[in-house]
Amino acid sequence: MKIPELALADTNHIPQIGLGLWQVKDQAEFNTAFTAALKAGYRHFDTAQAYNNEYMLGSAWQASGKQRDELFITTKIDVRHFRPNKVRSSFAESLKNLQTDYVNLLLLHFPVTILRKKAWKTLEEIQASGSARSIGVSNYMIHHLEGLAKYAKITPAVNQVELHVFLQQPELVKYCQERHITIEAYSPLAHARSMDNPVVNKIAEKHHKTYAQVMLRWLTQQGMVVLPKSVTPKRIEENIAIFDFTLDDEDLTLLAKQDRNLRTCWSPVHVP
C-alpha cells in the first residue's frame, strides 16, 4: 500500500500516517508491532526520548533489511533536556540509540517555560548541521507559537498535538494551517475513551468501516498526519486502511458537532 505524503513548508515530505510508539516498553512486543507495521505499509515511526524505546526502534529497523532512506523517523527532546548543551548531548545519544546519523523530524516535546527559546534555537542549529531534516514542536498552543515567531529564524514544520473528533481545537488548526505548519495528531483515537458515539458508529456502518477508521480518516481528510498507537497486528493493519474511502460533506458536518474538548493527555493550555 502506498501511503500519501504531505509536503512540509521546508520542502521535505512526511507520510500521512505513522506508528506511535508511546508506552511500548518490551522489545519483543515492539518487534512484533514494528514487523506488522512494515508489512502493512507503514514507513513512519514516531518515538521520543521520554518513551525510553529509541534503542528498540534502532534495533528493529536495522534488523528489518530496510534502507534508512525508506523510513521516516521522528524523535522528541525530553523536557529535562531543554538547556542547549543538554539538547545537543541528548540528541547525540538519540542518534546512537536509533542507529542513524539523522532523523527526519526532531521536535521539542513540550513548551517548557523560559527554556524553550534557547532550545528552539539549538534545534535550528541541529537542522543546519543536517542531523535533523525537519524540526518542529509538540503540544504548542497558539500563544506558544506566537511567542516562538518572535525569535525563530525557522518556522516549525510540524506541531504535534492531541487531536481527535472529540478534541478538535479548530482555532489552533486554523492558526497552523494559515502559517503552513503541518499538524500531527497524536492520540487520534482518544485512547479509546469514547468508542460508543452513535454518530461515529452510524458513519462507520455507512462506509463499511470501523469506528477507529472513521476517526482517523476525519483527520487525514483535513490534511493532518495521524499517529495511532497499537501493538496489535490486526489493529495496526486496520488503522492504515483508511485511504480507500472518503467522508462526505454530511459526515464532516456531523463529526464537527462531536467536539467536546476531551483531553486524554497532559494539557499545555495553561502553560505560560
61-80 core/surface letters (b: 16 or more CB in 10 A; e: else) = beeeeeeeeebbbbbbbbbe
CB 125 within 8 A of CB 98: no
> Which residues, in sequence order, are CB contacts of 153 under 8 Å at separation 6+?
121, 124
The span from the CA of 94 to the CA of 96, in Å, is 5
Strands, sheet with 72-77, edge to edge from the N-terminal-most edge strand: 19-20, 44-46, 72-77, 103-108, 132-138, 158-162, 182-186, 225-227
Question: Which residue among 42, 51, 140, 186 is the active-site one?
Answer: 51
Whole-number Cα distances in Å, 53 to 45, 56, 153, 231: 12, 5, 31, 14
Active site residue 186: no
Q: Which residues are catalytic?
A: 51
